[in-house]
């Protein structure tokens, strides 16, 4: 069997990142068991994954020599038990991630690779939640995962050498380039990016410039590919607020306290692309 056929991947959480990683894996020939709480969420996820696979293919980001992996969806977490790797991709709250990782660790066999796609929670903290902390590693896939090849791999003081070998093999199969970093709240990307987005939102809140102008200046002057506020809309402003709260709690950095405008957008349900409206309006583009 080839490497991609030997992998049995389970992903817990069928939101933005869960469906991104699922599309990436399927497109590289790795079969996936995708788990979420209800069938309605999974039905939406199946459609979303098909759309993302089509997008990846149109962009020439999938290997031409591999058949697609098979997708299985389920609401039963016990169905991850025979996976060779389980990726946790649930919401960025300590309570949700602890519950999932604790249960998953009790279901899988010793030697199973456990990955958290956490945005900000330290991996060393998570390692204390599971029976075999040496088998847990952080992998911060970028959004959209099926297009962006670079990933952060976060090694905690507990992460074993065998775990790093396994995660490197998986990411190689998925065509990703991994850079290994040491554990810290927010790691590298989000410790830099999230306060930047928060500050950009604060400038809009203060009336210094509108969202279009802030994004245009960051794109045109600093080479940011989409601008920080379009990036916020892609990530999901609700997810960003959760991550900023995690960073603020663990670092005390005042730049990580979500500004009032971001909090208001969450209250109003303006979460970004997934809701049709965030810092920018996507409703006309969808028509």
Per-residue pLDDT reduced to its tens digit, 207-216: 999 999 999 9
Domain of residue 34, residue span: 3-182
Domain containing residue 269: CATH number: 1.10.1040.10
Q: Which of 182, 208, 235 is the last residue of a domain?
A: 182
pLDDT value of residue 5: 59
Which residue's entry shows tokens 């009790």? 106
pLDDT value of residue 286: 54
Residues 154 and 204 in one domain: no
Residues 86 and 16 in one domain: yes
Length of the chain: 287
pLDDT value of residue 165: 96
Residues 72 and 176 in one domain: yes
Instruction: Please count the other Cβ atoms lying within 10 Å of the Cβ belonging to residue 56.
Output: 21
d(CA 271, CA 246): 18
What's the count of helices (H) and strands (E) in the chain, helices before strands?
A: 12, 8
Q: CA torsion, points 64, 70, 75, 81, in degrees to nearest 10?
A: -100
Q: How many domains does the chain have?
A: 2
Choose between 97 and 5: higher pLDDT.
97
């Amino acid at each position: 069997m080839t490497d991609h056929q030997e992998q049995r991947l389970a992903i817990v959480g069928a939101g933005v990142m869960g469906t991104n990683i699922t599309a990436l894996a399927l497109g590289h020939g790795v079969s996936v068991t995708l788990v979420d709480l209800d069938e309605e969420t999974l039905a939406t996820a199946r459609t979303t994954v098909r759309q993302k696979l089509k997008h990846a293919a149109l962009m020439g980001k999938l290997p031409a020599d591999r058949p697609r992996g098979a997708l299985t969806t389920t609401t039963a977490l016990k169905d991850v038990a025979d996976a060779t790797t389980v990726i946790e991709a649930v919401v960025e709250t300590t309570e949700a991630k602890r519950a999932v990782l604790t249960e998953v660790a009790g279901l899988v066999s010793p030697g199973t690779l456990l990955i958290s796609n956490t945005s900000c929670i330290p991996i060393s903290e998570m390692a204390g939640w599971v029976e075999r902390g040496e088998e847990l590693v952080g992998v911060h896939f970028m959004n959209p995962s099926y297009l962006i090849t670079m990933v952060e791999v976060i090694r905690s003081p507990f992460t074993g050498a065998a775990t790093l070998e396994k995660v490197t093999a998986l990411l190689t199969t998925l065509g990703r380039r991994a850079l290994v970093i040491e554990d810290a709240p927010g790691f590298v990307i989000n410790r830099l990016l999230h306060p930047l987005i928060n500050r950009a939102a604060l400038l809009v809140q203060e009336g210094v410039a509108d969202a279009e102008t802030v994004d245009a200046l960051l794109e045109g002057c600093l080479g940011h590919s989409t601008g920080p506020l379009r990036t916020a809309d892609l990530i999901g402003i609700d997810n960003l607020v959760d991550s900023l709260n995690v960073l603020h709690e663990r670092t005390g950095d005042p730049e990580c306290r979500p500004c009032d405008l971001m909090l208001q957008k969450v209250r109003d349900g303006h979460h970004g692309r997934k809701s049709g409206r965030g810092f920018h309006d996507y409703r006309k583009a969808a028509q």
